[in-house]
Amino acid sequence: MSSLPIDVPVAVLIAGSLLLLAGTLVLRKSWRERNGAKPMLRFGGWSLVAAGFAVFCQTLGGEFGTAYALMTLSIAALLVVAAGMEVRAAKPRSARDIALEPEDRPTNWPRAIAKSLLAIVLSGIAAIGLGVAFAVAMPLEPTDRIVIGGLLVPVLWGAGMAWTLCDAKLVRATILLIIVSVVGYGIAFLPKVLT
């Protein structure tokens, strides 16, 4: 797109994409190798991927280069996955295909509601508390601490969700999240209370 404030030369696009594609192909060979690890192959694969990133970043700059390279790596790898598709005939499942099953837990409605409250509400309260505490108390420029604090909220909330849903002990999760919330909001609102 010549109208954009970045020109993407076709040669760079092709060279970078080919390097990433070659890297994923080599990694595929290394990871699918059944007779032990192949460190040289793995090293070669990652080196090609790194070279692809370098080509994109060198030519397009760090911001555009990284974005283009990450996107191209994803698509190149999916192409390699699709090209290596193993078509199987319909047959009963063999023992080799048995999956590792999720933990079978006894559950009921009160427990499910309690888990939802923990994962969605209490994790959210705790995450917002920590994010706002960061935004208020960190010794950074105001924009930096507010933006990074804001960015922390979804990350912490998501991590809290994942943890509370995998932890079978509801009381432990509840107590920890309450402590985290008290600490977070304490730090966030303490300056206001003290003045």
Partner 1 sequence: MTDRSIDTKPRRRSFLKPDFVRAMLAGHSALGLAFAALIYIVCLSGTLSVFVHELQRWEQPNAPLVEGFATPEMLQQATVNAHKQAVADNAAHDLFVMGPGGVSPRLQINYHDHETGVQGSWIGDAEGNLDRRVVAPWSEFVADLHMVLHLPRTWGLFLVGLTGVALLSSLISGLLSHPRLFKDAFHFRWGGSHRLQEADLHNRLGVWGLPFHVVVSLSGALLGLSTLIVGVLALAAYDGDQQKAFSVILGPQPSADETAAPVPDVAAMVRQITDRQPDAVFSSMNIGHIAKAGQIVTINMRSPGHLPFGNPYAFDGSGKQLYDGGFETGSIGQQILGVLQPLHFGWFGGILVKLGYGVLGLALTVVTHTGVTIWLARRRDQGRPSPGWERVWAAVGWSQPLAFGTTALAALTGGGGFLVAIYLATFAAAFAVAGVARDGGATARALRLLGAVAIAAAVARHTQVWGAQISDPMAWYVSAAMLLCALTLATPVLLGGRSTAKPIAEQA
Residue 146 makes contact with partner 1 by CB under 8 A: yes
**Minimal distance, residue 172 CB to partner 1, in Å:** 13
**Minimal distance, residue 47 CB to partner 1, in Å:** 16
Q: What mask, x for binding partner 1 by CB under 8 A, covers residues 66 to 105?
A: -xx-xxxxxx-xx-xxx-xxxxxxxx-x-xxxxxxxxxxx
Determine which residue in the list 20, 119, 122, 130 makes contact with partner 1, applying CB under 8 A.
Answer: 119
In DSSP notation, 103-164 reads: P-----HHHHHHHHIIIIIIHHHHHHHHHHHHHHHSSS-HHHHHHHHHHHHHHHHHHHHHHH
Rounded Cα–Cα distance for residues 169 and 165 (Å): 10
Q: Are 27 and 74 in contact (CB under 8 A)?
A: no
Q: What backbone torsions phi and psi does residue 75 show, to the nearest 5 degrees? A: -70, -40
Residue 106 makes contact with partner 1 by CB under 8 A: no
Residue 162 makes contact with partner 1 by CB under 8 A: yes
Angle at 147 between CA 190 and CA 4, to 5 degrees: 170
Q: Are 187 and 136 in contact (CB under 8 A)?
A: yes
**Minimal distance, residue 7 CB to partner 1, in Å:** 8
- Which range in 49-57, 146-154, 171-179 contacts partner 1 by CB under 8 A? 146-154
Taking the least distance from each CB to partner 1, the nearer of 89 and 171 is: 89
Residue 117 makes contact with partner 1 by CB under 8 A: no
- Which range in 48-56, 116-124, 172-180 contacts partner 1 by CB under 8 A? 116-124
